[in-house]
Structure 1
Amino acid sequence: MSVDVAYPVFRTPDPALALRTARRLMEFGRCECSDVSAYAEFSSVAEVRRVANAMPGGRFRGASELEEFQGVPFEDQPPFVVGVPASGLPAEEAAFEGRLPVEWEAWNLPVGSIEDGFTATIGPNVGLINWRSLQWPDAPEAGFHGESKHAEVTLLFHTRTRELDEPTDDHTVLVHVRSAVFDGRQRREPYAHWLAAQMGLTLIGPAQRC
Protein backbone atom coordinates (compact mmCIF):
# COMPACT_ATOMS: atom_id res chain seq x y z
CA MET A 1 0.00 0.00 0.00
CA SER A 2 1.42 3.38 -0.98
CA VAL A 3 1.75 6.27 1.46
CA ASP A 4 2.29 9.99 1.12
CA VAL A 5 5.09 12.30 2.14
CA ALA A 6 4.64 16.02 2.85
CA TYR A 7 7.05 18.93 2.47
CA PRO A 8 6.81 22.39 4.04
CA VAL A 9 6.75 25.09 1.37
CA PHE A 10 5.64 28.24 3.22
CA ARG A 11 5.63 29.60 6.76
CA THR A 12 4.24 32.81 8.25
CA PRO A 13 2.87 34.20 11.54
CA ASP A 14 -0.13 35.56 9.59
CA PRO A 15 -2.94 32.95 9.47
CA ALA A 16 -4.84 34.75 6.70
CA LEU A 17 -1.73 34.83 4.51
CA ALA A 18 -1.08 31.17 5.27
CA LEU A 19 -4.62 30.32 4.16
CA ARG A 20 -4.32 32.33 0.93
CA THR A 21 -1.05 30.60 0.10
CA ALA A 22 -2.42 27.14 0.87
CA ARG A 23 -5.46 27.86 -1.27
CA ARG A 24 -3.34 28.91 -4.25
CA LEU A 25 -1.49 25.61 -4.07
CA MET A 26 -4.70 23.67 -3.56
CA GLU A 27 -6.41 25.35 -6.54
CA PHE A 28 -3.50 24.23 -8.72
CA GLY A 29 -4.68 20.65 -8.19
CA ARG A 30 -8.35 21.09 -7.34
CA CYS A 31 -10.83 18.87 -9.16
CA GLU A 32 -14.51 17.98 -8.91
CA CYS A 33 -14.03 15.36 -6.18
CA SER A 34 -11.72 17.43 -3.95
CA ASP A 35 -12.81 17.94 -0.35
CA VAL A 36 -11.61 19.61 2.85
CA SER A 37 -11.32 18.54 6.49
CA ALA A 38 -10.25 20.38 9.63
CA TYR A 39 -9.02 19.40 13.08
CA ALA A 40 -8.08 21.30 16.25
CA GLU A 41 -7.16 20.71 19.89
CA PHE A 42 -8.35 22.91 22.76
CA SER A 43 -6.65 22.89 26.13
CA SER A 44 -9.26 24.88 28.08
CA VAL A 45 -13.00 24.72 28.59
CA ALA A 46 -13.25 28.40 27.70
CA GLU A 47 -11.76 27.74 24.26
CA VAL A 48 -14.07 24.78 23.70
CA ARG A 49 -17.09 26.95 24.52
CA ARG A 50 -15.87 29.80 22.33
CA VAL A 51 -15.33 27.58 19.31
CA ALA A 52 -18.63 25.76 19.86
CA ASN A 53 -20.43 29.10 19.65
CA ALA A 54 -18.47 30.28 16.61
CA MET A 55 -18.51 26.98 14.68
CA PRO A 56 -21.41 24.75 15.75
CA GLY A 57 -20.60 22.20 13.03
CA GLY A 58 -18.12 19.39 13.52
CA ARG A 59 -17.75 17.12 16.53
CA PHE A 60 -15.99 17.49 19.87
CA ARG A 61 -14.26 14.57 21.59
CA GLY A 62 -12.88 14.56 25.11
CA ALA A 63 -9.55 12.93 25.89
CA SER A 64 -9.50 9.42 27.33
CA GLU A 65 -7.08 6.68 28.30
CA LEU A 66 -7.16 3.40 26.41
CA GLU A 67 -7.50 1.46 29.65
CA GLU A 68 -10.70 3.30 30.58
CA PHE A 69 -12.83 1.57 28.01
CA GLN A 70 -11.09 -1.69 27.23
CA GLY A 71 -13.83 -4.28 26.86
CA VAL A 72 -16.58 -1.64 26.93
CA PRO A 73 -18.82 -1.75 23.84
CA PHE A 74 -18.66 1.39 21.73
CA GLU A 75 -22.34 2.14 22.32
CA ASP A 76 -21.80 2.11 26.11
CA GLN A 77 -18.94 4.60 26.12
CA PRO A 78 -19.66 8.19 27.21
CA PRO A 79 -20.95 10.32 24.29
CA PHE A 80 -18.44 13.09 25.05
CA VAL A 81 -15.56 10.62 24.60
CA VAL A 82 -17.03 9.11 21.44
CA GLY A 83 -17.77 12.52 19.93
CA VAL A 84 -20.63 15.01 20.19
CA PRO A 85 -21.78 18.08 18.23
CA ALA A 86 -21.57 21.49 19.87
CA SER A 87 -25.12 21.10 21.14
CA GLY A 88 -24.12 17.90 22.95
CA LEU A 89 -21.22 19.34 24.95
CA PRO A 90 -21.54 18.88 28.72
CA ALA A 91 -23.00 21.88 30.50
CA GLU A 92 -21.18 21.14 33.75
CA GLU A 93 -17.56 22.25 34.09
CA ALA A 94 -16.78 19.09 36.08
CA ALA A 95 -17.51 16.93 33.03
CA PHE A 96 -14.31 18.27 31.43
CA GLU A 97 -12.06 17.05 34.24
CA GLY A 98 -9.58 14.59 32.76
CA ARG A 99 -10.97 15.25 29.26
CA LEU A 100 -8.62 18.00 28.11
CA PRO A 101 -7.39 18.61 25.53
CA VAL A 102 -10.67 18.37 23.67
CA GLU A 103 -10.43 17.52 19.98
CA TRP A 104 -12.66 19.04 17.31
CA GLU A 105 -12.96 17.70 13.79
CA ALA A 106 -15.01 18.06 10.63
CA TRP A 107 -14.35 15.76 7.69
CA ASN A 108 -14.99 15.48 3.94
CA LEU A 109 -16.69 18.83 3.41
CA PRO A 110 -17.00 20.80 0.14
CA VAL A 111 -13.98 22.94 -0.63
CA GLY A 112 -14.63 26.50 0.50
CA SER A 113 -17.21 25.58 3.13
CA ILE A 114 -15.15 25.81 6.29
CA GLU A 115 -11.72 27.29 5.69
CA ASP A 116 -12.42 30.97 6.37
CA GLY A 117 -14.45 30.35 9.50
CA PHE A 118 -11.92 27.90 10.88
CA THR A 119 -8.99 30.24 10.26
CA ALA A 120 -10.82 33.10 11.95
CA THR A 121 -11.76 30.93 14.93
CA ILE A 122 -8.66 28.81 15.60
CA GLY A 123 -7.14 31.50 17.85
CA PRO A 124 -4.03 30.33 19.73
CA ASN A 125 -4.86 26.65 19.38
CA VAL A 126 -3.09 23.94 17.38
CA GLY A 127 -4.97 22.63 14.37
CA LEU A 128 -4.96 21.97 10.65
CA ILE A 129 -6.89 22.22 7.41
CA ASN A 130 -6.36 19.43 4.88
CA TRP A 131 -7.47 19.42 1.24
CA ARG A 132 -7.34 16.04 -0.44
CA SER A 133 -8.44 14.22 -3.60
CA LEU A 134 -6.56 16.80 -5.62
CA GLN A 135 -4.97 16.10 -9.01
CA TRP A 136 -1.36 17.17 -9.47
CA PRO A 137 -0.54 17.66 -13.17
CA ASP A 138 2.16 15.97 -15.21
CA ALA A 139 5.63 17.49 -15.03
CA PRO A 140 7.25 16.08 -18.19
CA GLU A 141 10.21 18.45 -17.98
CA ALA A 142 10.94 17.03 -14.51
CA GLY A 143 10.20 13.46 -15.59
CA PHE A 144 7.09 12.93 -13.45
CA HIS A 145 3.57 11.80 -14.23
CA GLY A 146 0.67 13.40 -12.40
CA GLU A 147 -0.52 12.37 -8.96
CA SER A 148 -4.01 11.92 -7.55
CA LYS A 149 -4.08 9.37 -4.72
CA HIS A 150 -1.60 11.29 -2.58
CA ALA A 151 -2.20 14.80 -3.91
CA GLU A 152 -2.98 16.90 -0.85
CA VAL A 153 -2.30 20.28 0.75
CA THR A 154 -2.23 20.80 4.52
CA LEU A 155 -2.19 24.05 6.47
CA LEU A 156 -0.83 23.63 10.00
CA PHE A 157 -1.79 26.22 12.61
CA HIS A 158 0.62 26.94 15.49
CA THR A 159 2.74 23.90 14.72
CA ARG A 160 5.26 22.76 12.11
CA THR A 161 4.64 19.00 12.25
CA ARG A 162 1.88 16.72 11.04
CA GLU A 163 1.79 15.18 14.52
CA LEU A 164 0.86 18.61 15.95
CA ASP A 165 3.39 17.98 18.70
CA GLU A 166 5.58 21.09 18.47
CA PRO A 167 3.56 24.27 19.20
CA THR A 168 4.86 27.41 17.51
CA ASP A 169 3.77 30.98 16.87
CA ASP A 170 3.57 30.50 13.10
CA HIS A 171 1.68 28.49 10.50
CA THR A 172 3.05 26.14 7.84
CA VAL A 173 1.81 24.98 4.44
CA LEU A 174 2.64 21.43 3.33
CA VAL A 175 2.45 19.90 -0.14
CA HIS A 176 1.90 16.12 -0.31
CA VAL A 177 3.11 13.67 -2.95
CA ARG A 178 3.46 9.91 -3.15
CA SER A 179 6.35 8.47 -1.16
CA ALA A 180 8.83 6.49 -3.23
CA VAL A 181 12.04 5.59 -1.40
CA PHE A 182 14.82 3.78 -3.27
CA ASP A 183 18.37 3.32 -1.98
CA GLY A 184 17.46 5.48 0.99
CA ARG A 185 16.43 8.44 -1.16
CA GLN A 186 12.99 9.97 -1.60
CA ARG A 187 12.64 9.83 -5.40
CA ARG A 188 9.48 11.99 -5.55
CA GLU A 189 11.05 14.95 -3.77
CA PRO A 190 11.92 16.69 -7.08
CA TYR A 191 8.21 16.52 -7.98
CA ALA A 192 7.37 18.33 -4.73
CA HIS A 193 10.00 20.94 -5.67
CA TRP A 194 8.35 21.33 -9.07
CA LEU A 195 4.85 21.72 -7.61
CA ALA A 196 6.02 24.36 -5.15
CA ALA A 197 7.86 26.24 -7.89
CA GLN A 198 4.68 26.56 -9.97
CA MET A 199 3.31 28.76 -7.17
CA GLY A 200 6.54 30.68 -6.66
CA LEU A 201 7.31 28.64 -3.53
CA THR A 202 10.15 26.38 -2.53
CA LEU A 203 10.74 23.52 -0.09
CA ILE A 204 11.81 24.95 3.28
CA GLY A 205 12.26 21.80 5.31
CA PRO A 206 12.68 18.02 5.25
CA ALA A 207 10.03 15.46 4.37
CA GLN A 208 7.33 14.68 6.91
CA ARG A 209 5.85 11.18 6.96
CA CYS A 210 2.74 9.93 8.72
Structure 2
Amino acid sequence: MSNSYAQPILRTGDLAEALRVVRQLLELVDTRSVEVDLEAVARTPAELARLADAVPEADWWARGSDRPGSSPEGGTAADHLPVFLSAWCRPIHMAEEFLAAAGSASAMVRWDLDGWPAAPEVRLGPGGTRGAYITLATHAHDLYLDEPADVHTVFVHVKQVEAERAPWLAAQVGLRVIGELVVAPL
Protein backbone atom coordinates (compact mmCIF):
# COMPACT_ATOMS: atom_id res chain seq x y z
CA MET A 1 0.00 0.00 0.00
CA SER A 2 1.28 3.46 -0.81
CA ASN A 3 0.91 6.67 1.11
CA SER A 4 -0.48 10.00 0.07
CA TYR A 5 1.49 13.13 0.88
CA ALA A 6 -0.27 16.40 1.57
CA GLN A 7 0.87 19.99 1.62
CA PRO A 8 -1.16 22.96 2.91
CA ILE A 9 -1.82 25.75 0.42
CA LEU A 10 -4.32 27.91 2.33
CA ARG A 11 -5.14 28.63 5.95
CA THR A 12 -8.04 31.03 6.49
CA GLY A 13 -10.73 31.94 8.97
CA ASP A 14 -13.22 32.20 6.10
CA LEU A 15 -14.82 28.86 5.21
CA ALA A 16 -16.32 30.34 2.03
CA GLU A 17 -12.82 31.29 0.85
CA ALA A 18 -11.53 27.79 1.59
CA LEU A 19 -14.40 26.24 -0.37
CA ARG A 20 -13.76 28.65 -3.26
CA VAL A 21 -10.17 27.39 -3.48
CA VAL A 22 -11.36 23.77 -3.36
CA ARG A 23 -13.79 24.51 -6.22
CA GLN A 24 -10.97 26.09 -8.25
CA LEU A 25 -8.82 22.98 -7.74
CA LEU A 26 -11.75 20.77 -8.76
CA GLU A 27 -12.00 22.75 -12.02
CA LEU A 28 -8.57 21.32 -12.93
CA VAL A 29 -9.84 17.71 -12.95
CA ASP A 30 -12.62 15.53 -14.30
CA THR A 31 -15.16 15.40 -11.46
CA ARG A 32 -17.58 12.84 -12.91
CA SER A 33 -16.41 10.08 -10.56
CA VAL A 34 -15.21 12.15 -7.60
CA GLU A 35 -16.24 10.89 -4.18
CA VAL A 36 -15.72 12.45 -0.78
CA ASP A 37 -14.61 11.03 2.55
CA LEU A 38 -16.06 12.76 5.60
CA GLU A 39 -14.59 12.83 9.12
CA ALA A 40 -15.26 14.90 12.23
CA VAL A 41 -14.70 15.05 15.95
CA ALA A 42 -17.92 15.56 17.93
CA ARG A 43 -17.18 16.89 21.40
CA THR A 44 -20.70 17.88 22.46
CA PRO A 45 -24.15 16.29 22.19
CA ALA A 46 -25.25 19.11 19.86
CA GLU A 47 -22.32 18.53 17.47
CA LEU A 48 -22.98 14.79 17.50
CA ALA A 49 -26.69 15.28 16.77
CA ARG A 50 -26.02 17.57 13.78
CA LEU A 51 -23.37 15.25 12.33
CA ALA A 52 -25.50 12.12 12.87
CA ASP A 53 -28.39 13.81 11.07
CA ALA A 54 -26.13 14.71 8.14
CA VAL A 55 -24.51 11.27 7.88
CA PRO A 56 -26.60 8.76 9.87
CA GLU A 57 -24.58 5.77 8.64
CA ALA A 58 -21.22 7.18 9.83
CA ASP A 59 -19.00 4.91 11.89
CA TRP A 60 -17.76 6.29 15.19
CA TRP A 61 -15.02 5.60 17.73
CA ALA A 62 -14.39 7.06 21.17
CA ARG A 63 -11.68 9.72 20.70
CA GLY A 64 -8.45 8.71 22.39
CA SER A 65 -6.44 5.52 22.25
CA ASP A 66 -7.25 4.56 25.83
CA ARG A 67 -11.03 5.00 25.53
CA PRO A 68 -13.29 2.06 24.59
CA GLY A 69 -16.43 2.39 22.49
CA SER A 70 -17.23 2.30 18.77
CA SER A 71 -20.05 1.63 16.35
CA PRO A 72 -18.69 -1.87 15.53
CA GLU A 73 -18.82 -2.69 19.26
CA GLY A 74 -22.36 -1.39 19.61
CA GLY A 75 -23.51 1.19 22.08
CA THR A 76 -24.36 4.81 21.63
CA ALA A 77 -21.93 7.47 20.48
CA ALA A 78 -23.44 10.02 22.88
CA ASP A 79 -22.26 7.86 25.80
CA HIS A 80 -18.63 8.08 24.62
CA LEU A 81 -18.05 11.77 23.78
CA PRO A 82 -15.80 13.00 22.35
CA VAL A 83 -16.09 10.70 19.34
CA PHE A 84 -14.48 10.53 15.92
CA LEU A 85 -16.97 10.00 13.06
CA SER A 86 -16.12 8.71 9.59
CA ALA A 87 -18.05 8.08 6.38
CA TRP A 88 -16.15 7.28 3.18
CA CYS A 89 -17.02 7.11 -0.52
CA ARG A 90 -19.94 9.52 -0.42
CA PRO A 91 -21.34 11.55 -3.32
CA ILE A 92 -19.57 14.86 -3.94
CA HIS A 93 -22.69 16.92 -3.11
CA MET A 94 -22.46 15.78 0.52
CA ALA A 95 -19.30 17.80 1.19
CA GLU A 96 -20.89 21.16 1.84
CA GLU A 97 -23.91 19.66 3.63
CA PHE A 98 -21.53 17.84 5.97
CA LEU A 99 -19.46 20.97 6.64
CA ALA A 100 -22.61 22.93 7.43
CA ALA A 101 -23.66 20.24 9.90
CA ALA A 102 -20.19 20.19 11.49
CA GLY A 103 -20.48 23.86 12.39
CA SER A 104 -17.62 24.65 14.78
CA ALA A 105 -16.57 21.00 15.20
CA SER A 106 -13.22 19.96 13.73
CA ALA A 107 -14.09 18.26 10.44
CA MET A 108 -12.43 17.03 7.27
CA VAL A 109 -13.61 16.48 3.72
CA ARG A 110 -11.29 14.69 1.30
CA TRP A 111 -12.13 14.77 -2.40
CA ASP A 112 -10.91 11.52 -4.00
CA LEU A 113 -9.84 12.34 -7.57
CA ASP A 114 -9.09 10.23 -10.63
CA GLY A 115 -5.81 12.10 -11.07
CA TRP A 116 -4.13 15.46 -11.44
CA PRO A 117 -3.59 17.09 -14.84
CA ALA A 118 -0.20 17.23 -16.50
CA ALA A 119 2.15 19.84 -15.06
CA PRO A 120 4.55 20.45 -17.94
CA GLU A 121 6.25 23.38 -16.18
CA VAL A 122 7.62 20.92 -13.60
CA ARG A 123 8.00 18.05 -16.11
CA LEU A 124 5.14 15.91 -14.81
CA GLY A 125 2.58 14.10 -16.91
CA PRO A 126 -0.97 13.45 -15.75
CA GLY A 127 -1.11 11.87 -12.30
CA GLY A 128 -3.05 8.73 -11.48
CA THR A 129 -5.44 8.11 -8.63
CA ARG A 130 -2.71 7.43 -6.08
CA GLY A 131 -1.97 10.69 -4.32
CA ALA A 132 -4.68 12.70 -6.07
CA TYR A 133 -6.79 14.27 -3.33
CA ILE A 134 -7.87 17.63 -2.00
CA THR A 135 -8.53 17.93 1.72
CA LEU A 136 -10.29 20.70 3.59
CA ALA A 137 -9.80 20.51 7.35
CA THR A 138 -12.17 22.88 9.11
CA HIS A 139 -11.47 24.21 12.57
CA ALA A 140 -8.15 22.35 12.45
CA HIS A 141 -4.52 22.95 11.50
CA ASP A 142 -3.82 19.31 10.65
CA LEU A 143 -5.16 16.37 8.66
CA TYR A 144 -5.73 14.25 11.76
CA LEU A 145 -8.01 16.84 13.40
CA ASP A 146 -5.75 16.72 16.45
CA GLU A 147 -5.06 20.47 16.52
CA PRO A 148 -8.37 22.36 16.87
CA ALA A 149 -8.18 25.92 15.54
CA ASP A 150 -10.27 28.85 14.44
CA VAL A 151 -9.03 28.40 10.87
CA HIS A 152 -9.68 26.13 7.91
CA THR A 153 -6.82 24.51 5.99
CA VAL A 154 -6.79 23.37 2.35
CA PHE A 155 -4.29 20.64 1.46
CA VAL A 156 -3.34 19.19 -1.91
CA HIS A 157 -2.15 15.58 -2.00
CA VAL A 158 0.50 14.27 -4.35
CA LYS A 159 2.78 11.28 -4.75
CA GLN A 160 5.97 11.74 -2.75
CA VAL A 161 8.06 11.30 -5.90
CA GLU A 162 6.01 14.09 -7.52
CA ALA A 163 6.32 16.56 -4.64
CA GLU A 164 6.88 19.44 -7.07
CA ARG A 165 3.25 19.01 -8.21
CA ALA A 166 1.97 20.54 -4.94
CA PRO A 167 3.49 24.03 -5.49
CA TRP A 168 2.41 23.81 -9.13
CA LEU A 169 -1.20 23.08 -8.06
CA ALA A 170 -1.12 25.94 -5.56
CA ALA A 171 0.08 28.30 -8.31
CA GLN A 172 -2.83 27.22 -10.56
CA VAL A 173 -5.22 28.79 -8.03
CA GLY A 174 -3.06 31.83 -7.26
CA LEU A 175 -1.52 30.46 -4.06
CA ARG A 176 1.71 28.91 -2.81
CA VAL A 177 2.48 26.08 -0.42
CA ILE A 178 2.54 27.25 3.20
CA GLY A 179 3.86 24.22 5.03
CA GLU A 180 5.78 20.99 4.77
CA LEU A 181 4.79 17.92 2.76
CA VAL A 182 3.43 15.41 5.31
CA VAL A 183 2.26 11.80 5.21
CA ALA A 184 -1.51 11.83 4.95
CA PRO A 185 -3.93 9.46 6.66
CA LEU A 186 -5.95 7.30 4.28
TM-score normalised per structure 2: 0.85
2:140 equivalent to 1:159: yes
Query: Corresponding residue for 1:37?
Result: 37
Distance in 1 of aligned mates of 2:147 and 2:65: 23
Distance in 1 of aligned mates of 2:63 and 2:42: 14
Distance in 2 of aligned mates of 1:67 and 1:175: 32
> What residue identity is the alignment partner of 2:174?
G
2:149 equivalent to 1:168: yes
Query: Corresponding residue for 1:192?
Result: 166
Post-superposition shift, 1:13? 0.7
- 1:121 aligns with one of 84, 88, 101: 101
Query: Corresponding residue for 2:111?
Result: 131
Distance in 2 of aligned mates of 1:168 and 1:31: 30
Secondary structure in 1 aligned to 2:171?
Answer: helix
Post-superposition shift, 1:52? 2.7
Distance in 2 of aligned mates of 1:34 and 1:146: 16
Number of residues of Structure 1 aligned to a counterpart in Structure 2 = 183
Relative to 1, partners in 2 of residues 1:67 and 1:141: Cα closer, same or farther, differing over 3 Å? closer
Post-superposition shift, 1:62? 4.0
RMSD: 2.5
Query: Corresponding residue for 2:62?
Result: 63
TM-score normalised per structure 1: 0.76
Secondary structure in 2 aligned to 1:170?
Answer: strand
Higher Cα Rg, which structure: 1
Deviates further, 9-18 or 167-176: 9-18
> What residue identity is the alignment partner of 2:160?
S
Distance in 1 of aligned mates of 2:66 and 2:179: 37
Unmatched runs of 5 consecutive residues or more in structure 1: 70-77, 181-187
Structure 1 segments (4+ residues) deviating >4 Å: 64-69
Distance in 2 of aligned mates of 1:83 and 1:6: 32
Identity of aligned residues (%): 34
Distance in 1 of aligned mates of 2:144 and 2:51: 22
